[in-house]
Structure formats: structure tokens, C-alpha cells
Amino acid sequence: MELGLGFYLGIITILTITIVGALAPIIAPYRPEDLFTPLSPPSPSHLLGTDDVGHDVLTHLIYGARTSVIVGGLTATFSTLIGMIAALISGYYPKWDPLISRALDFFLSIPRLPLIVILAAFLRPDIWLVISVLSFFGWAITARVIRPFIMQERSKSYIERLKCIGARDSYIMIRHLLPATFPLAAAQFILEAGHAVLAEASIGFFGLEDPTTLSWGMEIQHSLQRSIIFLTNKWTWTIGPPSVALIIFLLGMTLMAMDLEKNLNPRLRVRLW
């Protein structure tokens, strides 16, 4: 597999944001609860200014990266693992395929973001609710992509030869089929992480998340509550930084996923020169 420039640009972007989020207590210039003069413009003491409450925008931006990384990483991990297991069972055992296929149809028919909005009205709207719902309903996407690949691999001659020499089904699935799905699973992992980050930001933007959550979506939502900032240039340092950070994060994931998909799907391999 020949990975292109997009993949490396994407992984550098994601790794940078992940490291920043992990080291937030160390590299953040202030504590998240520290208050200063509200709506102060960028200055040497506050590189990105302060918001309408008086929080340092750069500090909240750094801590917001941690929230996005946690939501995206955990959601993608859980949904990808469950999806891979479901795809292995469905693709390898024909008797289980009809049941799992109907389950896929059910879960794929339910829109996740509206469901989170509804649940947030009755439950505590924190990031763990977002992670739980996105993981519970997101595995079907991964399973739908990997299942045909498992069915195709199962019909190949080397699987039949393994069975003839007495290899167990568990050995075939874990030793041969599962590693073969890693490239597809990696692409789905990245896409699912991007969906989770965007969903979490959307929940915060709509004001349905825990107000104490430090996330980019909540930063934008807090700033939008003061519509008067649009009459001045204050929106450039209150709404601009979290919006740009979110765009960069999603762009990095998109570049990685597109490059992986291009290498996995021969129909997408076109000559650019």
C-alpha cells in the first residue's frame, strides 16, 4: 500500500492535536477556571484573547482538544471493534448472516445525532452519553463495510485448505481473516472518529451538552449567546479559534481516510498527472 501526502499530512495533524490535548494541564497558559477581563483582544498575556466570561480562549481551546480526542478515539474504538466482530460472525457463518443483516438494517436506519438530541432532553447531556450512543449505533457502518470482504475471503481456496488440515474456525478468523480486515477497519476507524467529533461539537453548539464541558462546540455556543459580538471584531477571537480548530481536526481525518480509501479501492486510483 502506497500512502500519499494526504495521509501523512492528516496523521501529523491528528497526532499534534492529540498530544496537545493529552498535555493540556502542562502546556495551557492558565487554568480553565481562571477569569480575566471579558472580551479582551489578543495580547502577549492572552494570545487568543478572552471570551465573554473572561476565560482565556487559548486555554479552553487546548482543553477542548482533549474532549474531541477522547470522544473521537473512544467512539471509533468501540464501534470499530464491535463492527469487526459482527462482520466476522456474519461473513464466516452463513447461518448467522440473516440475523445480523437485519440488525444492520435496523441500526443503520436510526439517525444518531437526532437520537442524541432527544436523549439529551431526558438524560444528563455529557460526553459519555455521546460516546455511548455513537458507539452503540455506529458499529453497523463498520460491519456493513467489512462483511462483504469477509464473505469474499471465506470463499478463497486457502481457507478451504486450512479447514482440510484441521484448522479451527476461531484460528482462521483470528489468525487470517481478522488481520486482513485491518486496512478497511483503519479507514472506518478514522471516518467514525471524525463523525464522533463532529457530533459532539454539534451537541455543544446546540447547547445540549453539559455547560461545564470544555469542548470546541461549547465554546462556539457560549460565544453565540452574546450576539452583540458580531457588531464588533470580537467574534474573530471568540468564535474563530474553536471553529478553525474543529475544521483542521476534521480535515486531517478526512485526508487520512480518503488516502486509505483510495489505496483500498482500485476504482479510485486515477492518474493525476
| The predicted structure's pLDDT at residue 16 | 92
Pick the CATH number of 5-29+57-266 from 3.40.190.10, 3.40.50.300, 1.10.3720.10, 2.60.40.10: 1.10.3720.10
Task: Report pLDDT for 63.
Answer: 92
CB 129 within 8 A of CB 118: no
pLDDT value of residue 33: 87
Q: What is the mean pLDDT of each run of 10 residues along the chain (273 residues)?
A: 75 90 90 87 88 87 89 90 90 86 86 76 74 84 87 83 82 83 84 85 76 82 74 81 90 83 57 41
Distinct helix (H) and strand (E) counts, the chain: 13, 0
Q: Please give the pLDDT value at position 125.
A: 66
Say what the pLDDT of residue 253 is.
87
* CA–CA separation, 114 and 58 (whole Å): 31
Instruction: Give the pTM.
Output: 0.80
Domain boundaries, the chain: 5-29+57-266
User: What pLDDT, on a 0 to 100 scale, did the predictor assign at position 10?
Assistant: 86
- Which residues have a Cβ under 8 Å from the Cβ of 117 and sit 6 or more positions away? 203, 206, 208
pLDDT of residue 27: 92
